[in-house]
Amino acid sequence: MEKFYITTAIDYVNGAPHIGHAYEKILTDVIYRHFTQRFDKTYFLTGTDEHGIKIQKTSAQNNMSPKELCDMNSQKFKDAWKALNVDYSQFIRTTDEQHEKVVQKIFKKLVEQGDIYKHSYKGLYCSGCECFLSEKDLTEDGLCPDHQKAPEIVEEENYFFKLTKYKDAIIKHIKTHPDFIVPSFRANEVLNQLENIEDISVSRATANVSWGIPVLDDPAQSIYVWIDALTNYITAIGYDPDGSSEKFKELWPATVQVIGKDILKFHSIYWPAILMALDLPLPEHLLAHGWITIDQTKMSKSLGNVISPETVMEAFNLTEPDSLRYYMASAAPCGKDGNYSDEDFKEKVNAHLANSMGNLLNRTLSMLVKYFEGDIKPEFLGKNELKEQALEAVKAVKHHFDYFEIQEAAQRIIELVDITNKYVTDNAPWTLAKEGQIEKCGIVLTNVLQVMTVIASLIYPFCPNIAKAMSEQLSYDINTKLDNITCEVLKSGHLIDKENIKPVFLRLDSELADKSKK
């Protein structure tokens, strides 16, 4: 793979970011950081979706212009991702002038080639979903299943995209590319949805939805959701029907597009059809993640259990987001739902990051200083009994990331930590020193520290700040590519002084942690 281009869904700016938004961005950032450790050309796109009737109505209710509401809430998303160390390459807003211009060109191109046509329509419209629903989509009570509200009857003349024209091609692509939809068990769900698809509305009358991109040559129509929002993945990197940039040619197709399972239909049916109409290749993978519940309950404004990532960080006095990143990214198996609870968060990160990983490094370095004044002697090198297990862990973690098994990758890293802890317990370097087996004691400690350089690299995508703190104490280059890891990076000589040994992660409930973070 010569490049790695990853995208997230763009978040609708009708409200502020919550922990569900954070889950997707953290998950994507962890995947992105891992692949930056393997490839030289990587790119990470995220952003905000800023047009539509909900923005129009909410801004009016708050005595703001739609653009003022978008500016305010888009900044909230940027601030949240900064606080969580989400290292995106580009943040696109669908109100960006360049995006709007290219969307108009795309729309015009599709009209001219006959993929978009004008049609009078009467249908059931859900403003929450921002789409038309059929009778079979509704509950027995005639409600939208996601928003529990009855759709309104809308009758107007709109432009429609010939989705049905691409039905067979999409079905064929899904069946011949079993890794297109991840996890694969969702493919049947999409194939079932394809059986009854109809052409889709891609514009609204400006009289009803004024906050949108006007259709060129027909200002009475606003370009509606799908052509506007979905095309951000290509407009951001320089796609243009009149001639695309070198950047676009280098990056497209996307390697993986990370989305929530609730918008899989739009990304696995509407989006491929639009790309086919533009004669562009499809993304290699669509990763549909599950939802994050709060204490096993789905987030809901009415229940008052919608929490923001900043709230969690403030509650635990966190100055760095590593523990929340680790917890969220490893919260669920690929594509399944995960859960957040304060107690589980505290218990898991204390066990994995403080007690197991952080304490292992701290006590090993402390023993190196106590018995050898922080020096690694030449005779301590070259007999690493843990090397093969460490290198096997690197292979396993890479394999899990190749299949977007992020929880499993985290578990494999902690398994290596546990193996190394057991090695320390079994060999008892403190006893070896007491018995005068100084060289053997030094070999054991050096073996552990060599493995800790591997652990620092593997944990980096999840916990970049902790990994950097570990690497600084080990004098290890955290930018080492995974293919270049040897588990033999430490050389003979002075490694560390006592005053430079510091905990890389303090327990969340420790008195010291509270004092240091207030």
Q: Round to whole Å and give the CA distance between 93 and 70.
A: 9
Task: Round the CA-based radius of gyration of the chain to a whole number and report it.
Answer: 26
Catalytic (active site) residue 147: yes
Given a contact cutoff of 8 angstroms between Cβ atoms, the answer to whether 284 and 258 are in contact is no
Catalytic (active site) residue 34: no
Catalytic (active site) residue 487: no
Amino acid at 391: L
Given a contact cutoff of 8 angstroms between Cβ atoms, the answer to whether 254 and 182 are in contact is no
Catalytic (active site) residue 298: yes
Torsion of CA 86, 87, 89, 92, to 10 degrees: 20
- CA distances to 103, 124, 294, 363, 462 from 320, in Å: 39, 47, 22, 23, 12
Alpha-helix runs per DSSP H in 159-222? 167-176, 187-194
Given a contact cutoff of 8 angstroms between Cβ atoms, the answer to whether 191 and 158 are in contact is no
Given a contact cutoff of 8 angstroms between Cβ atoms, the answer to whether 353 and 463 are in contact is yes
Instruction: State the catalytic residue, choosing from 25, 51, 99, 144.
Output: 144
Residue 178 backbone dihedrals phi, psi, to 5 degrees: -60, -15
Instruction: State the catalytic residue, choosing from 70, 126, 334, 487.
Output: 126
Catalytic (active site) residue 126: yes
Instruction: State the catalytic residue, choosing from 41, 119, 147, 149.
Output: 147
Instruction: State the catalytic residue, choosing from 249, 298, 399, 494.
Output: 298
Q: Round to whole Å and give the CA distance between 499 and 127.
A: 60
Catalytic (active site) residue 498: no
Catalytic (active site) residue 267: no
SS3 content of the chain, % helix, strand, coil (to 5): 50, 15, 35
Q: How many H helices and E strands in the chain?
A: 20, 18
Instruction: State the catalytic residue, choosing from 70, 129, 463, 487.
Output: 129
Count of C-beta atoms within a 10 Å radius of residue 138: 16
Q: Tell me which residues are annotated as active site.
A: 18, 21, 126, 129, 144, 147, 298, 301
